[in-house]
Structures are given as structure tokens and as C-alpha cells.
Amino acid sequence: MQKKSILASTLLAAFWGYAQEKPNLTDDKSAPISEIVIYETRLQLPSSTKNRNLQILDKAQIKQLPVRSVNELLAYVSGVDIRQRGPFGTQADLSIDGGSFEQNLVLLNGQKISDPQTGHNSLNIPVPIEAIERIEVVRGPSARLYGVNSLTGVVNIVTKNPHKDGLFAHIYGGSSFEKDSETGHDEWFNGRGVQLGGSWVEKKHNHLFFGSQESGNGYRYNTDFHNSKLFYQGNIQANDRNNLMVLGGLVRSSFGANGFYAAPIDKEAKEIINTYLLSLSSKHLLSEAFTVAPSIAYRYNYDDYRFYRNDLSKARSQHYSNALTTDVKAHYRTDYGVLSTGVEWRYEEINSSNIGAHNRSNYGLFAEFKREFFNRLDVNAGAYANYNSFYGWQVFPGVDASYRMSDQWQALFSVGSSQRIPSFTDLYLNQKPNLGNPHLKPESAYQIEGGVRFKTDHFSANAFVFYRDIDQFIDWVRSDETQPWQTDNAASNRTIGMNTAAKYRWNLPRGVWDFGLAYTYLSPEIDDPAGLSKYTVESFKHQVVTTVNYRHKKWSAMWTNRYNERLSYKSYFLTDARLGYELSKYSFYLDAQNIFNHTYVEAGAVPMPGRWFTVGVKFNAM
């Protein structure tokens, strides 16, 4: 009751409103640090007027980093915890600011693509890095903006909008130059890949196509992988007032799952995952003041987990899941601000060998109003009302505000709430040593956050502190090591956190230097943990990400360091580097990952690769 009273008081104290501007992006390498455009499910706003704690990887950073998958990219965002079981883009869990991998939403161009079976599959995304314009991370409970399951934050992947006809090709290969001592195979561990893409642009429509194939024998016993992806995006501009986006893709992955979920007894495990995505969204300007934006998105996922990869007669799990989401959003501009309203419906179902057949529906209704006062104070507030066929009605209010103290300084404040509905795996899994619990209650979260931003042409910095309280925290627990893991509303999870980041660009006659530094501190407090915990004690305590990038004429070099310290595991440093050279439409690179060959674990008992080298060449005429 106290939390709801605080939220209600804050809502009554705020006057709702909104302001909108057009994006302004630049590709000039020597230009000042540019203003990033945020693509929300509602509107597009420049980040200087946004009232939330946002972390962004833009296309320039994506191009420079020594990575080849979305999973690896996200590991460079402060506060984002990527816990990979299968590297090379095969399998990874995503969490934000100390939450679990089930407590966030993954969006593609504002469309929900999270998996209802389990968060383990949420990063099965068909989009290659070369098709990504930017990745946005909205931190904190975000139900008012994105609905349920956005308990700790939202990751939105925004794809490029092509402007000319062109072709793209990328080929690469890599190795640790180590051999499998366990099997005695006289072959280095290795991986390779090829990507092909193209764009077709006409006056009223454009199209983007990508396909890729990656494979390798892994980095230790039973970690071989094969990943295939296809991606299509089409934009149709009927006239100045009506446009349509079509998006589709598929991912087919097969990989050795040694130690993924039941180490050490799952040494011979294998997993096959097929994911299909399709979405249609449009925007219609009915008048100068009134806009309507309907959309529909479909996600199909097939998950085949084979405990014994060479014996399918036992311990095999097959899951078929479907998720259909449709919504309609409307925006009405008045002299006093902009009113945004909308409705959403999501249907989820699963048919599984050890989860069973289940379905559920979710209905959402939101309203938000935003207004700017005195050309300095920007306040937006609203609420999201949600009805779930299992759990009934819930309402999630929230307020965001920012105050521009000067052209360089901005203060921000937000307070909000959210809910996480248990996944089908949480509720119904029946596969020892992991058992679901059909009596689970939804998680609920409340968070207060405040911070400041500073920005000049060549330097930007921000710092935020937050307090988050999660009730009915769902975790996999057991009383001792002889018992199976089972889901339970095990505890309350209260977290005090701080994150800060800075960027500096130094222009010299002989090149451009870009420096980046980000730090996250988390201090969770868990009440009455029920025995041993699988996830609550794995979050970061300290995380530091540093990047140094140098560009001179056709040469570039990037050096990155990541320091991670988890609550339940020793700290470790990871150092990566990329050396690049551009020649007309060709670019060449050499990557070195985990240069100092540190031994570390990100999830469960799965050791991650040691030192790894990759060489690649790209042809880009898009």
C-alpha cells in the first residue's frame, strides 16, 4: 500500500505532457558527439529530451567493436549482463541491472519478440549486425511504456532504413589454435561464417535482404555449432500520410549443449532451435494533430533439447510455442501537450513433451500525457492497465521528468512499476532435475531513479542512482544438492544501484580518438532465500566497460576492457581488440578476443572460450 501511495502522490503532483522532434543523425567521423534518436513503441524523440535512463549502441560503435553477434554487442552496454552458454551467437541469457533473464523485454523495431516458453530463447534473432542501426536499452520497470514483463528494462533493436541500391558480403574465420585434448582430434577448434545482403530502393518503397551461415567445431568438447539466418525488411511509403513496414526472418540453430543446464551429467547434450518472426506495422497521419499506428507480430519457436545427442529414445524434450501480438496506438496533439493511448492483445500457447499444452491471453490498455513547461521542465505520466487470463487485472502507473538546467546540464527523475508473468517453463516444466510450479504468482517491481546528464560537442557524461523492490521474486531453488531445482516465489529482492558513463572525442590532425568509460554498481538484498538459489546470486556487483578507438585515414584500431565481478563468482578481466583497414568498398579486420586468455564462467558451469582470433573481409556497396 505504501508503494502505491507514493506512486499515486507522484502522479497527482505531475502535469502530463509531451514534445516531439525529428531525428538528426550524422556519419561524419570528425563531427561532434551526435544526438541519438530513440525509437519507441509510441514516438521518436531526441535523447536530449528523453526522461529515462537510456544506454545506446549506435551504428558507428557497432562497426568498430570486435564482435559478430547481437549477444556479443550487448555485453558492451553498461548494466546489461550477457550470460552466454553457447558463444558464437548460439545461446545467451540477457539481464539488466541485476534482474533475471526472464525480467526484461526484447523488441525488434518496437515489436515484442520475447519467447513465452523461456527467456533462454529470447535472443534467437534473425537480424545480422550489418542490418542494425542501433541498439537501445531502457533501464528500469517500463510497463507504462511497453506492458508486462518489462520488469527491469527493455532492449530495442532498430534496423537500418536503406537509402540506395546495393550489395553486401562478409566472410570470416577464426580459431583458438588449440586442439581437443579430450578426444584427441588433430584439428584446431575453429569457426567460420559467410553473410550476404542487398538493398533495393525506389521512390515509394525500399527493401533489405540478408542471409548468413555460421558453423564450427566449437571451443571444447561438444560445443560444435551451425547457425543459419534469413532476414527481410520492406518499407512502403504510400504517400506523406501513410506508410507500412513488413519484417520477417528465421533462425535455425544447432549446437552442442555440454553443461548448459544440468552440468556435469549433460555432457552429451545437444539443442536445436528454429525461430520464425513476422510483423506488419503501419502509421497513418489522419490530421496534423492525430496519428494512428496499428501493428501485428507473430513468433513461432521450436526447441528440441536432446540430453543424449546420439540416443533420441530417452531424455528428449520438444517444445512448440506460438505468440501473436497486435496493438493499436493513437497520438493526439493539443495546445497543452500530446495524449497517447492504445490497446494491446497478446496470445501465447505451447505444446511440449514435458511442459504440456497450455495457452493464455493478455490484454493491455495504456494512456499517457506529456507536456513541457517553461521550455525547461519536461514531464510525462500515465498508466498501463493489464488483464491476464490467469492472473486478472493489474495497473502500473509511472512518471518521468527532466529539467534542463542549461544547454549542457539536465536532471532526470522517474518512478514506475511493472509485473512479470511466469513463463510456461516456470509454471509447468517436468524434467528432472528442473521442475516447474503451477502455483507461482507474478513478480511485481517498483523503482525510483534519479540522475544527471552533461553534454558538449566532444564530451558527454551521465550518472544515475536507483532503488528497486521486486516482490514475489521467482527463482529456481532447492533445499540441498540432493533435491531437484524447482521454481518458487522465493524471496523479495531489493536492489540499490548506480551507473555512470562518459564519452570523449579528441580530434587531431593525425586522427580521431574516441574514449568510453562506463561503470555499474549493484547491491541486492534478498529476504529469506529458500535454500540454494540458481539465479539470484549470479548478478553483477561491479561492472566496468572501457573502450579506446583510434581512426586515421583508412586505418582504425579499437581496444576494449571489461571488468566483471559477480556476487557468487570471482572477478575477471576480458580484453578484446580489433585492427581494421578500409579500401574503397572493402574493409578488412583482425580481431583478438580474451587476449590474456582468462578462464571465466558467465552462466552455470559452462567455461567460456579462451583466447580467440578472427580475420574477416567485408564488401559493402549499400
Categorize the per-residue pLDDT at 536 as very low, low, confident or very high, splitting at 50, 70 and 90: low
From 60-64, 303-307, 393-397, 601-605, the region with the lowest mean pLDDT: 601-605
Q: Please state, in angstroms and rounded to a whole number, the distance separating the CA atoms of residues 424 and 348.
A: 9
Give the pLDDT mean for 77-81: 89
Cα–chain center distance at 56: 11
Sequence-ordered alpha helix ranges (H) in 288-423: none
- Of residues 35 and 126, more confidence is placed in 126
Cα–chain center distance at 105: 7
Q: pLDDT, tens digit, for every residue of 335-349?
A: 889 899 999 999 999
Q: What pLDDT, on a 0 to 100 scale, did the predictor assign at position 444?
A: 92
Residues 6+ apart with CB under 8 A from 221: 180, 182, 183, 256, 258, 267
Structural domains in the chain plus CATH codes: 2-620 (2.40.170.20)
From 17-26, 262-271, 539-548, the region with the lowest mean pLDDT: 17-26
Q: pLDDT, tens digit, for every residue of 493-524?
A: 899 999 999 999 999 999 999 999 999 999 98
Q: pLDDT, tens digit, for every residue of 355-411?
A: 999 999 999 999 999 998 988 999 989 999 999 999 999 999 999 999 999 999 999
Q: pLDDT, tens digit, for every residue of 309-338?
A: 989 988 899 999 999 999 999 999 998 898
Q: Could you tell me the three cell numbers for 297?
A: 507480430
Q: What pLDDT, on a 0 to 100 scale, did the predictor assign at position 27?
A: 41
Most confident of 46-55, 60-69, 204-213, 432-441: 204-213
Q: Could you tell me the three cell numbers for 395?
A: 495497473
From 264-268, 440-444, 555-559, the region with the lowest mean pLDDT: 264-268
From 46-50, 434-438, 543-547, 604-608, the region with the lowest mean pLDDT: 46-50
The pLDDT of residue 610 is above 70: yes
Sequence-ordered alpha helix ranges (H) in 107-181: 143-146
194, 171 contact by CB (below 8 A): yes
* DSSP letters for 261-326: SSTTTTTT-EEEEEEEEEEEEEEEE-SSSEEEEEEEEEEEEEEEEESSTT-TTSSEEEEEEEEEEE
| Reduced DSSP (H G I as helix, E B as strand, rest coil) percent helix, strand, coil of the chain, to 5 | 5, 60, 35
Q: pLDDT, tens digit, for every residue of 453-488?
A: 999 999 999 999 999 999 998 888 887 878 888 888
Q: Please state, in angstroms and rounded to a whole number, the distance separating the CA atoms of residues 135 and 114.
A: 16
Q: pLDDT, tens digit, for every residue of 254-284?
A: 999 998 887 888 899 999 999 999 999 999 9
Most confident of 61-70, 145-154, 531-540, 549-558: 549-558
3-state SS, residue 298: strand
Q: pLDDT, tens digit, for every residue of 422-441?
A: 999 999 998 777 889 999 99
Q: What pLDDT, on a 0 to 100 scale, did the predictor assign at position 181?
A: 73
Query: Phi and psi at residue 530, in whole multiples of 5°?
Result: -85, 80
Residue 498: exposure state from Cβ atoms within 10 A (0-12, 13-18, ≥19):
middle
Please, what sign has the CA dihedral across residues 485, 487, 492, 498?
A: positive
Q: What pLDDT, on a 0 to 100 scale, did the predictor assign at position 20?
A: 33
Query: Phi and psi at residue 567, in whole multiples of 5°?
Result: -65, -30
Residues 6+ apart with CB under 8 A from 335: none
Output the CA angle 108-113-114, nearest 5 degrees: 130
Q: What pLDDT, on a 0 to 100 scale, did the predictor assign at position 533?
A: 74
Output the CA angle 495-386-418, nearest 5 degrees: 10
Q: What pLDDT, on a 0 to 100 scale, did the predictor assign at position 30?
A: 47
Total-model pTM: 0.88
As a residue count, the chain comes to: 622
Give the pLDDT mean for 104-121: 88
